[in-house]
Structure 1
């Protein structure tokens, strides 16, 4: 029998991601953020969809490669 996964509330996802519930709501309104389910008036998130969103949001590096292939940190003007 397949294991069932409990869907998460917006409060649980906000806590997991370190965001406010208001941010998640704004993202939903703008079509951003993790994929979600609307069950009547309730909003739920599948853990796999939250994990996919986090993976898709990952940035590999913020350094710039030099001509010799070495990474250099890009200096920001102050």
Structure 2
């Protein structure tokens, strides 16, 4: 299923780099640079395929959250 969210038996959803780029609003080039530099989202590489877990994407974005509270 190229280009579509993929599910496996573990209940995880996996997205390709194009889907992730659209989802989080960055370019595919940025995701590739982050992988090369060892920063950014966790990913899985299987052969030439790169996949990102939706659970990892959510956790990563939550960890980047900035809260501004006014007293």
Q: Do they superpose with TM above 0.5?
A: yes
TM-superposed deviation, 1:33: 1.1
Provide the TM-score with structure 2 as the length reference: 0.77
Q: Are residues 1:41 and 2:48 paired? A: yes
TM-superposed deviation, 1:3: 5.8
Provide the rounded CA distance (Å) in 1 between the counterparts of 2:16 and 2:46: 11
2:18 corresponds, among 2, 5, 11, to 11
2:59 corresponds, among 35, 46, 52, to 52
1:20 corresponds, among 18, 24, 27, to 27
Larger radius of gyration: 1
C-alpha RMSD of the superposition: 1.8
Instruction: Give runs of ≥4 in structure 1 deviating > 4 Å.
Output: none
Q: Secondary structure at the match of 2:13?
A: coil
Higher RCO structure, 1 or 2 (CA under 8 Å, sep 6+) = 2
Number of residue pairs matched?
A: 63
